[in-house]
Structure 1
Amino acid sequence: MLVLLASIGMVFVASWTLYQHAEAVIEDTDRFDLIGERLATDVRVIDGAAPTTRPVLATMLSTGDLQIIWKPADAELDTHPEPKGLAQLHQQLVNANPTLAQTHLQLHPGGPGRWTDISGTLHLSDGSLIGFTAPDILRSHLVTRGVATAAIVALAVLFVALMLVRALSLPLRALVTVADTVGAGEWEPLAEKGPGEVRRLAHAINAMQGRIAHLIDDRTEALAAVSHDLRTPLARLRLRAGFLTDEEARDSIEADIDEMEAMVDGVLAYLSGEKAREACRTLDLATLLSTIADDATDRGGDVTYEGPDRLSVVLPPLATKRVFTNLVENALHYAGSAVIRLTPKAESVMIDVEDNGPGIPENEMPRITNAFHRLELSRSRRTGGLGLGLAIVKREVERANGVLELSNRPEGGLRARVVLPRG
């Protein structure tokens, strides 16, 4: 579009410039010749008339493009020399009309505010003078009118082109928005409008998103159903284990049942929040974090809170509590202690959960927040986790337009940093 517009504009300006310049040169040349012929004729007519009739005769010979006055021999003359810039025009008038060479032709600019006018004097045989003024004879050959016309046309073409491009690109921008939400559970059907290719693409994306949503729903429902239905046989197993007389066998079975129930609870917690969105409301983040630390301490953990006593933010309360509860439980499981540090900023809040555990291998960092991903070597499997804790944390933090950063501390242990907007 820009190349086409620039080409049209350049061709238009160039052709207009050449045409206008050529036309102006031809017109001015003809006008100079005509003025020279009229001056030569006027000199002969006025020189042959009686002195008393010359003023009237000069008035009669004056026209809009050449004004004539007669001055007696004793009249005051303009003693300024002829400017060098008028030498070419002087020579052009004399060459076209040799009679003017005998009249001591002298040219002068028109004066302030009349820069395109030319004035001059001619001497008659008896010493009297003819003064003349040719208005607008030095008009500029700059094509300002042509440039203005070209600019108006170019702007009009640009405006129309921009409107067309905007209209054509609206469906494409909608496609980009939809593509960013594919599989996120927030998709709405895309309007199938615009050019034919865009309509077909929108239809294909709608169909693809429908298939993806159907697959996600089927997977979620299947996992939720299986996880929920496992509660019944687990409850029966716990009941039957209670009747065992072998305490060692009973304790082992109950430990396995506890581990399986923890797995079921983790899966249900992950699936329950996969599509549902909790509404945001004002909460005291400092009180929430200190409460999580106190609850962990009451259960025998070593958790401390560092930060302000009060800090109001607008966040989903249950999801926020789940995020930091999971981070604290991870720290307690793998390190035995944790420190929660809250740092308020101008537009956001930064929460660090630090421990003194083994940390995470650097090659596992990109995958550690994937659902059901576990570390086989560096972290114990005795916790009974499924690798859903950090996956839930990442999902809820991103839903709140926040950022989760995991890094190993130089002094040892893991730092989980969560940055959330305050409003």
Structure 2
Amino acid sequence: MVLLAAVGMVFVASAAFYEQAETYIDDDARIEQLVDVLSTDLRVMETTPLPQRPAMAELLSESTLALIWRPVGMRHEATTPSLRRLRDEMVEFDAAFGKADLRIYALPGTASSVRGVLTLADGSEIDFVAREVVGHRHVKSGLASTAVATAAVAVIAAMLIRAVSLPLRALAQVADSIGTEGEWVALEARGPREVRGLASAINSMQQRIQHLINDRTELLAAVSHDLRTPLARLRLRAGFLTDAEAQMMIESDVDEMETMVNGVLAYLAGELDPDPPRSMDLAATLLTLLDSWADRGKTTRYDGPDRCPIFARPPITKRIFANLIDNACTYGGDAHVTVTRGRDRVVVTVDDSGPGIPESERERVLTPFYRMDAARARSTSGMGLGLAIVRREVERAKGTLRLDRAPEGGLRVEVVLPVGETREAVPAALPG
């Protein structure tokens, strides 16, 4: 665009300046030829007797130059603009035209022909019409050159931009795919030197990230085995204690440790879940989760369709709403779930009647390991990973998460998920 603008401005400015300097662009070669012919004709007419001058004028006329002799008293009065620059140029070629009081006028109806008058020594005049002497040919050729140059620059610029933008698009796609699902493919280092260097840097960075993910996977497997086994042994040994109070306290501590371990493992292993998306009934999943808490004595309510098929990962989707309903029942005392299904998305809101979360804290509670002491006593289990897991999994599903104030004064969590390529949910997709 810069090249096109520069070329266009140069030619437009040049054409405008040229047009301003002279309305009619003179053709020097034709003017010089006209001067030579008129000089000869002027000398011939000066030496021709008066009675023979009309015939001589007709004899000297040709296709590009017509002569008419006018006697004294029949002076021609022009009604068109005078071309002073052309007149001065012709006088410069031959000074005799200045003595003959040369006058040049535009010829009506044409842009390239002119009409002129020469005064002889006896006061009579030669009226002549010269054709194809002036015109806008230079301006037209300049505009044509501008169009050709602009088209050439546009083609070259398009080729250059495409050559540079293709590697940049590939870089953008690879950079956008870092940390997402799918197998990473090394980026081909091509294009300008800077782009090739950036491609190599991204490839190296992606390899390092892949090594870190692999190391963490191995660590998760070790933690899962090494922590769960001692906890199971500790729970088994607690069952042989004769002190009922000590047994209850130890089992409570084991339950809390298992909750924390499960939360950490769920957060760290979220993107490693191999379960593929498939059709599931979201309404059945929510009703199952709510019934589980209702059996424990909590007040739960569901408002929405009896069936709500979506295309998603059933374990991940169940984990999202299990965390939200668990939080609502644990910290808010009850859970009210509302489902609204649209054409391409489903909106699920989870309300409770608890103390809620201040607006200033709503972003922080979505970060890992953050807990609000005022709303969640330290005596409760968990490590502050529930909402962090929810946000991560909702974003991975291309959805949105929003925290707000519930009508009852507690917390409202709104989750918007894409419906996807849904089919009727099959029984295998139902939770449990």
Quickly name the TM-score band, shorter chain normalised: 0.7 to 0.9
Displacement of 1:206 in angstroms is: 2.0
Q: Is the 8 A contact 2:25 2:135 kept in 1?
A: no
Distance 2:326 2:352 in 1: 11
Which residue is equivalent to 2:425? Answer: none
Partner SS for 1:319: helix
Structure 2 residue 267 is the aligned partner of structure 1 residue 265: no
Distance 1:84 1:375 in 2: 93
Mapping for residues 22-421 of structure 1, pairs under 5 Å: 24-25=25-26, 27=28, 30=32, 33-34=35-36, 36-37=38-39, 39-40=41-42, 43=45, 57-58=59-60, 61-63=61-63, 66-68=64-66, 82-86=78-82, 88=84, 96-97=96-97, 110=107, 112=109, 114-118=110-114, 132-140=128-136, 143-184=139-180, 187-276=184-273, 278-345=275-342, 347-409=344-406, 412-421=409-418
Q: Is the 8 A contact 2:278 2:311 kept in 1?
A: yes
Displacement of 1:332 in angstroms is: 0.7
Change (3 A) 1:241 1:146: same
Partner SS for 2:231: helix
Change (3 A) 1:259 1:34: same
Partner SS for 1:405: strand
Q: Is the 8 A contact 1:109 1:117 kept in 2?
A: yes
Displacement of 1:333 in angstroms is: 0.9
Q: Is the 8 A contact 1:46 1:57 kept in 2?
A: no
Displacement of 1:130 in angstroms is: 7.8
Deviations along 1:5-32, one digit per CA (max 9) or x if unpaired, are 6556655666788899899447165355
Deviations along 1:67-114, one digit per CA (max 9) or x if unpaired, are 4377999xxx9x99522413648966797536866xxx99776554x3
Unaligned runs of 5+ in 1: none
After superposition, the CA RMSD in angstroms is 4.3
Change (3 A) 1:107 1:373: closer
Deviations along 1:210-265, one digit per CA (max 9) or x if unpaired, are 22322232223213321233332222223222222222222222222222333333
Distance 1:89 1:244 in 2: 122
Distance 2:260 2:142 in 1: 80
Q: What percent of counterpart residues are identical?
A: 45
Change (3 A) 1:131 1:412: same
Change (3 A) 1:323 1:80: farther
Q: Is the 8 A contact 1:12 1:150 kept in 2?
A: yes
Q: Is the 8 A contact 2:45 2:56 kept in 1?
A: no
Deviations along 1:144-199, one digit per CA (max 9) or x if unpaired, are 32133134223422432343244234334433444444444654322222233332
Partner SS for 1:342: strand
Change (3 A) 1:31 1:282: farther
User: In the alignment, residue 292 of structure 1 is paired with which amino acid?
Assistant: L
Unaligned runs of 5+ in 2: 421-432
User: In the alignment, residue 197 of structure 2 is paired with which amino acid?
Assistant: R
Instruction: Report the TM-score, using the length of structure 2 for normalisation.
Output: 0.76
Instruction: Report the TM-score, using the length of structure 1 for normalisation.
Output: 0.77
Aligned residues: 410
User: In the alignment, residue 149 of structure 1 is paired with which amino acid?
Assistant: S
Partner SS for 1:97: helix
Q: Is the 8 A contact 1:335 1:357 kept in 2?
A: yes
User: In the alignment, residue 62 of structure 2 is paired with which amino acid?
Assistant: S
User: In the alignment, residue 210 of structure 1 is paired with which amino acid?
Assistant: Q
Q: Is the 8 A contact 1:185 1:213 kept in 2?
A: no
Displacement of 1:417 in angstroms is: 1.5
Change (3 A) 1:98 1:229: closer
Q: Is the 8 A contact 2:45 2:53 kept in 1?
A: no
Structure 2 residue 424 is the aligned partner of structure 1 residue 422: no
Displacement of 1:118 in angstroms is: 3.2
Q: Is the 8 A contact 2:97 2:118 kept in 1?
A: no
Q: Is the 8 A contact 2:303 2:339 kept in 1?
A: yes
Change (3 A) 1:122 1:194: closer
Deviations along 1:288-317, one digit per CA (max 9) or x if unpaired, are 434433443244322212234454443333
Distance 1:374 1:188 in 2: 39
Q: Is the 8 A contact 1:118 1:137 kept in 2?
A: yes
Change (3 A) 1:80 1:294: farther
Deviations along 1:18-48, one digit per CA (max 9) or x if unpaired, are 8998994471653553454255256458868
